[in-house]
């Protein structure tokens, strides 16, 4: 075991900045719920965006933390690299120290150097730093200030210039930004270092010459129109890749050889019988799986369930990618990835209690997701094989890729990946077109179209007698034909009615409307512009007759009981968990009730029992 186990590396970082008067704060969630421009935290600075912009009050001017980040979409997207190389990840930890209008370049640079070389003891002659060279098109000066501060500590030939792409950091297309100085490390052996100087390999995608820390000097706000506006104050945002730092301190040449990942890899070996290091293809698969499970497990622990759209679909895509690697390369036809959650909980639970508190739940969700994709994966892979055999060009037709998506649940990036392994491509435009068409079809299928009302009486239609009565004598005041997709039904409005219209989470009443001529079955009751609308499958043949409107009392009684139970449950939750429990949604049905609520953690068995 190295002198620098991962837990000690993390703790040393935080203690170092605590000794420099920084307040240590916990990681913010990785899943972002209320920012339309961002689904996931993709940099340590996201949670502090408003502090940089001067929109939120600064409570502590100096802060340090380790932040869970996910880079799988938008400006910062590393997904394709993950597993194929040894130093990119979907989820990673970013160690950060922050100054909100407090210290600036001089201290940030001095402390970074002190921590890396004196505390962690990294060799100075393996380190390189970069500074922003300026950019004429944006009228940005070279960062000579940072260069001067670096010169105090670093030999000048190790200070390199960097362009806007590498040395001007931006969160996204808008938001706080500024020039940055990166610290790179050369982990190659002596012979290699003698042959090619490390300076030539900085920012050149070399797996052993990698960036470990980025110090951003926040000075500007990029506005939506693309212009730069100076911020009211200057700030420091630093981000150090925890997994890469661990590689450097543990003397490894791959992040996956550190104890951040070895416990996970050992577990995969235990579950598959395949040792890490056996072959290139099994190694890639194992790296993909241990990387992806972290992203998926932590996202679920943060409250993001896998789903068919939005952030939930990103999580589903990542997991399906992992499942396919396990299926094809590790021969796993049964769910197994969920089992890795226990390892995450053990290794990371001290720093991230949310994963420990919810380990069982997360395991279960992952297992169910795996099982559901495994039901169609084998068939889908067979189908794509046939498609590939039948291809006459090197590009798979968009409609075919759509079939894989629609029938077998293949996210397009999975199809793209399988094609890429054979040197083939996906017709992206064609696929997008098919997607669009499907969206329009499903919109058409659920879109309600209605004929004009047949009006028998001008007034009435809002009177609800159902609190006291379960049946009344009624007249039809208006009705019309309606359809949704292929289904046709009739909407009937009565002068007075005992039928409860759907609302407040309670389902609408069902029952019958009976006259001497006919009996109409009410399958649901809804409210529309104040009118109580009874939905029937048949048209009234004699609409002017007198009807006996009778609700299905068994259903109604059950619904009423479930409604009462909902209120009791809400009160019980407040008593057991606390006043903060807020209702997020509810459904009251004759057969069951559903109550959605917010709470900070998974409920314990004991709390559920209470």
- Using CB under 6 A as the binding rule, whether residue 45 contacts ligand SER is answered as yes
238, containing H or E segment: strand 228-241
Among 27, 167, 203, 238, binds ligand SER (CB under 6 A): 238
Q: Which C-beta is closer to ligand SER: that of 213 or that of 490?
A: 213
Question: Of 133-141, 231-239, 482-490, 598-606, which segment contacts ligand SER by CB under 6 A?
Answer: 231-239
Q: Which C-beta is closer to ligand SER: that of 88 or that of 324?
A: 88
Min separation Cβ 22 and ligand SER, Å = 15
Q: Which C-beta is closer to ligand SER: that of 172 or that of 312?
A: 172
77, containing H or E segment: strand 76-77
Build a one-symbol-per-residue string for 70-109: x at contacts with ligand SER by CB under 6 A, - elsewhere: --------------------------x-------------
Min separation Cβ 130 and ligand SER, Å = 13
Closest CA relative to residue 238, chosen from 428, 424, 94: 94
Q: Which C-beta is closer to ligand SER: that of 97 or that of 474?
A: 97
Q: Which C-beta is closer to ligand SER: that of 237 or that of 302?
A: 237
Min separation Cβ 408 and ligand SER, Å = 36
Closest CA relative to residue 52, chosen from 108, 101, 118, 112: 101
Q: Which C-beta is closer to ligand SER: that of 45 or that of 245?
A: 45
State the residue number with the nearest CB to ligand SER.
239
User: Could you give the CA distance from residue 255 to residue 86 in angstroms, rounded to a whole number?
Assistant: 6
Q: Name the one residue in this structure whose structure tokens are 């039809």.
A: 476
User: Could you give the CA distance from residue 394 to residue 379 in angstroms, rounded to a whole number?
Assistant: 22
Among 43, 112, 127, 160, binds ligand SER (CB under 6 A): 43
Exposure class string for 267-277: b at 16+ Cβ within 10 A, else e: bbbebbebebe
Min separation Cβ 213 and ligand SER, Å = 8
Among 90, 167, 181, 214, binds ligand SER (CB under 6 A): 214
Q: Which C-beta is closer to ligand SER: that of 96 or that of 501?
A: 96
Q: Give the 3-state secondary structure percentages of the chain, helix then strand then coil, rounded to 5.
A: 40, 25, 35
- Using CB under 6 A as the binding rule, whether residue 27 contacts ligand SER is answered as no
Among 216, 247, 300, 414, binds ligand SER (CB under 6 A): 216
Question: Of 43-51, 347-355, 421-429, 599-607, which segment contacts ligand SER by CB under 6 A?
Answer: 43-51
Burial class (CB in 10 A: 0-12, 13-18, 19+), 509: buried
Min separation Cβ 483 and ligand SER, Å = 53
Burial class (CB in 10 A: 0-12, 13-18, 19+), 514: middle
User: Could you give the CA distance from residue 368 to residue 542 in angstroms, rounded to a whole number?
Assistant: 52
Question: Of 144-152, 235-243, 288-296, 348-356, which segment contacts ligand SER by CB under 6 A?
Answer: 235-243
User: Which positions from 158 through 197 interact with ligand SER, judged by CB under 6 A?
Assistant: 169
Three-state DSSP state, 40: strand
Q: Judged by CB under 6 A, how many residues of this single chain contact ligand SER?
A: 10
Min separation Cβ 180 and ligand SER, Å = 7
Closest CA relative to residue 549, chosen from 506, 507, 503, 494: 494
Our CA dihedral for 194, 199, 200, 202, rounded to 10 degrees, sits at: 120
Q: Which C-beta is closer to ligand SER: that of 214 or that of 562?
A: 214
Radius of gyration of the chain (CA): 31
Closest CA relative to residue 536, chosen from 494, 577, 572, 576: 494
Q: Name the one residue in this structure whose structure tokens are 């039928």.
A: 499
For 232, list phi and psi in degrees, rounded to 5: -60, -35
Question: Of 38-46, 119-127, 135-143, 410-418, which segment contacts ligand SER by CB under 6 A?
Answer: 38-46
Q: Which C-beta is closer to ligand SER: that of 246 or that of 495?
A: 246
Q: Which C-beta is closer to ligand SER: that of 171 or that of 355?
A: 171
Q: Which C-beta is closer to ligand SER: that of 44 or that of 461?
A: 44
User: Could you give the CA distance from residue 422 to residue 424 in angstroms, rounded to a whole number?
Assistant: 5
User: Could you give the CA distance from residue 271 to residue 266 in angstroms, rounded to a whole number?
Assistant: 9
Q: Which C-beta is closer to ligand SER: that of 68 or that of 188?
A: 68
Give me the count of residues in the chain. Answer: 610
Among 29, 162, 239, 306, binds ligand SER (CB under 6 A): 239
- Using CB under 6 A as the binding rule, whether residue 198 contacts ligand SER is answered as no
For 420, list phi and psi in degrees, rounded to 5: -60, -35
Cβ(428)–Cβ(398) under 8 Å? yes
Min separation Cβ 595 and ligand SER, Å = 40
- Using CB under 6 A as the binding rule, whether residue 237 contacts ligand SER is answered as yes
Q: If you write DSSP's letter for every residue of 294-346 in order, what string do you get?
A: HHHHHHHHTT----SSHHHHHHHHHHHHHHHHHHHHS---S--GGGGHHHHHH
User: Could you give the CA distance from residue 398 to residue 427 in angstroms, rounded to a whole number?
Assistant: 5
Min separation Cβ 359 and ligand SER, Å = 29
Closest CA relative to residue 118, chosen from 209, 12, 216: 12
Among 10, 16, 44, 490, binds ligand SER (CB under 6 A): 44
Q: Which residues bind ligand SER (CB under 6 A)?
A: 43-45, 96, 169, 214, 216, 237-239
């Amino acid at each position: 075991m190295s002198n620098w186990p991962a837990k000690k590396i993390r703790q040393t970082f935080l203690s170092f900045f605590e000794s420099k008067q920084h307040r240590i704060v916990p990681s913010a969630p990785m899943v972002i719920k209320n920012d339309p421009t961002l689904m996931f935290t993709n940099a340590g600075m996201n949670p502090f965006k408003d502090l940089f912009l001067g929109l939120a009050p600064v409570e502590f001017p100096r802060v340090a933390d380790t932040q869970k980040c996910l880079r799988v979409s938008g400006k910062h997207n590393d997904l394709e690299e993950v597993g194929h190389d040894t130093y990119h990840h979907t989820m990673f930890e970013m160690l950060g120290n922050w100054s909100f209008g407090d210290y600036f370049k001089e201290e940030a640079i001095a402390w970074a150097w002190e921590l890396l070389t004196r505390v962690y003891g990294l060799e100075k002659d393996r380190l390189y730093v970069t500074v922003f060279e300026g950019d004429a098109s944006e009228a940005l000066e070279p960062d000579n200030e940072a260069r001067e501060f670096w010169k105090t500590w670093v030999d000048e030939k190790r200070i390199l210039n960097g362009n806007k792409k590498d040395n001007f950091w931006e969160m996204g297309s808008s938001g706080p930004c500024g020039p940055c100085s990166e610290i790179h490390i050369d982990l190659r052996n002596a012979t290699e270092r003698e042959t090619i100087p490390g300076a030539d390999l900085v920012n050149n995608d070399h797996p052993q010459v990698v960036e470990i820390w980025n110090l951003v000097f926040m000075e500007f706000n990029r506005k939506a129109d693309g212009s730069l506006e100076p911020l009211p104050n200057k700030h420091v945002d630093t981000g150090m890749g925890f997994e890469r730092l661990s590689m450097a301190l543990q003397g490894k040449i791959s992040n996956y050889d550190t104890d951040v990942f070895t416990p996970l890899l050992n577990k995969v070996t235990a579950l598959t019988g395949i040792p890490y290091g056996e072959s290139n293809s099994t190694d890639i698969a194992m790296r993909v799986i241990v990387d992806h499970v972290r992203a998926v497990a932590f996202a679920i622990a943060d409250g993001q369930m896998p789903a068919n759209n939005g952030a939930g679909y990103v999580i589903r895509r990542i997991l399906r990618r992992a499942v396919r690697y396990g299926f094809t390369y590790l021969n796993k036809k049964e769910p197994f990835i969920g089992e890795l959650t226990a390892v995450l909980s053990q290794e990371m639970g001290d720093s991230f209690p949310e994963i420990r508190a919810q380990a069982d739940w997360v395991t279960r969700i992952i297992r169910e997701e795996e099982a559901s994709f495994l039901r169609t994966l084998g068939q889908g892979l067979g189908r794509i094989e046939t498609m590939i055999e039948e291809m006459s060009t090197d590009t798979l037709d968009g409609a075919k890729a759509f079939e894989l998506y629609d029938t077998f649940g293949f996210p397009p990036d999975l199809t793209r990946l399988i094609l890429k392994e054979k040197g083939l491509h996906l017709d992206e435009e064609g696929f997008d077109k098919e997607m669009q068409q499907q969206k329009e079809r499903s919109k058409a299928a659920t879109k309600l179209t209605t004929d004009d009302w047949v009006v028998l009486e001008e007034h009435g239609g809002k009177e609800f007698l159902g609190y006291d009565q379960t049946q009344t004598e009624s007249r039809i005041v208006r009705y019309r034909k309606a359809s949704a997709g292929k289904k046709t039904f009739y909407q009937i409005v009565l002068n007075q009615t005992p039928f409860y219209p759907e609302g407040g989470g309670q389902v609408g009443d069902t029952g019958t409307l009976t006259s001497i001529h006919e009996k109409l079955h009410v399958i649901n009751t809804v409210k529309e512009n104040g009118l109580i609308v009874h939905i029937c499958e048949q048209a009234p043949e004699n609409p002017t007759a007198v009807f006996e409107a009778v609700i299905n009392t068994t259903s109604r009684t059950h619904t009423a009981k479930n409604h009462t139970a909902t209120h009791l449950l809400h009160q019980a939750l407040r008593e057991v968990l606390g006043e903060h429990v807020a209702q997020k949604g509810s459904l009251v049905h004759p057969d069951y009730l559903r109550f959605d609520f917010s709470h900070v953690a998974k409920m314990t068995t004991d709390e559920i029992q209470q």
